[in-house]
Amino acid sequence: MNDEIEIKPSTLEAFLKTIIQLEKRYAHNERGAKQERRSKVVERIEEVAARELDRA
């Protein structure tokens, strides 16, 4: 929907892989994992955005 912000397909693909790996690591840890997992997701977003998008 935000057509004017460009994200390279390779960036998106790599980012997704990272997220899936992260999710897999937390998959069997039920207690209190949700908040921690979501914080980690935000961390990854921050990393990729800072590296690939903010500078563009």
| Residue 8 contacts other proteins per CB under 8 A | no
| Residue 31 contacts other proteins per CB under 8 A | no
| Residue 23 contacts other proteins per CB under 8 A | yes
Distances (CA, A) of 56 to 30, 42, 51, 52: 38, 20, 9, 7
Alpha helices, DSSP H, located in the chain: 9-26, 33-48
Smallest gap from Cβ 27 to other proteins, in A, equals 6
| Residue 27 contacts other proteins per CB under 8 A | yes
In the numeric block, which tokens belong to residue 16?
């997704």
| Residue 10 contacts other proteins per CB under 8 A | no
